[in-house]
Amino acid sequence: MRPRLRCAVLDDFQSVATEIADWSPVAEDVDVVSFAEHFADEDSLVEALADYDIVVTLRERVPFPASLLARLPRLKLLIASGMRNSVIDYAAAEAHGVTVCGTASSSTPPVELTWALLLGLARGLVTEHNSLRSGGPWQSTVGVDLHGARLGLLGLGKIGSRVARIGLAFGMRVTAWSQNLTKEHADEVGVELAASKEDLLADSDFVSVHLALSDRTRGLLGAPELALLKPTAYLINTSRAAIVDQDALLAALHEGRIAGAGVDVFDIEPLPADHPMRTAPRLLATPHLGYVSRANYATYYGQAVEDIQAYLAVSPVRQLG
């Protein structure tokens, strides 16, 4: 009879990980503990995870560099939601005998949240809701029409393409740009290919970011790029915070150089209580909810169980690295 293993589920903020999926297939071999609190530094992670053989982590919220992996000698299986993770040191994991696996991830939730933020900004929903609930003025904003407005998309991949089609359904004129985007692909989606990033920014009424974070996209929108936006334009970022220079965005919001921004991703997550993004004007912000939906969580945790089963059978699946 093999010894029981211990599995830690990190950042289970809603305390649903053990309820939203069926963990019974591994119940005879594995004890599962979920943590609702976030461990923000390596020392706290080591203290919390020292006695665990398996760790399940969400997306790229918790880095697993070589230094951390070296301090977790008991760790043997690391499962990350999604099939791409830039904050795990795969070479160090292999050197320490840690198997790294992923899960599927749906593009539907971030598409839907993108539109929730865009529509919320366009129709002043937070302002009007707060006013109505607090006995404030009856109507204080004038909504922005989507029909006929130009939607500029930075990135036309799986998520960007779906955002584009919804924009077309609203009657928007949709333009896209990325460093590798071809006219053929833009034509397939039914959108215009912008001549340049600068042209897209200058011409758009709404700009939405749908690029993967890489050396080429880090800081892609800095102060010079944000200065190209119309003063009536809105910026939406549900992708990665580092694609947009955070200081430059804060300055543009405080100085009123753009109409507003909808942001779901931040340079530090969870946001510290005193972080300037919490109080920035003209900002509609959500706490990285892009991937947070019942169906997506069921996939993440359900396939985490499958990953554990396969590991126990000495036949790992969905390996990363």
CA distance 47 to 71: 10
State how far Cα 211 lies from the chain centre. Answer: 11
Kindly name the residue from 162, 192, 240, 306 that is annotated as catalytic.
240
State how far Cα 64 lies from the chain centre. Answer: 18
Query: What residues form DSSP beta bridges with 57?
Result: 80
Long-range contacts for 33-39 (Cβ within 8 Å, ≥24 apart)?
A: 33/6, 33/7, 33/8, 33/9, 34/8, 34/9, 35/8, 35/9, 35/10, 35/11, 36/12, 38/10, 38/11, 38/13, 38/270, 39/10
For residue 90 the two structure tokens come to: 């795969």
Kindly name the residue from 184, 288, 306, 318 that is annotated as catalytic.
288
Residues in the chain: 321
Whether 254 is a known active-site residue: answer no
Whether 288 is a known active-site residue: answer yes
Whether 185 is a known active-site residue: answer no
Kindly name the residue from 60, 192, 225, 269 that is annotated as catalytic.
269
Catalytic residues: 240, 269, 288
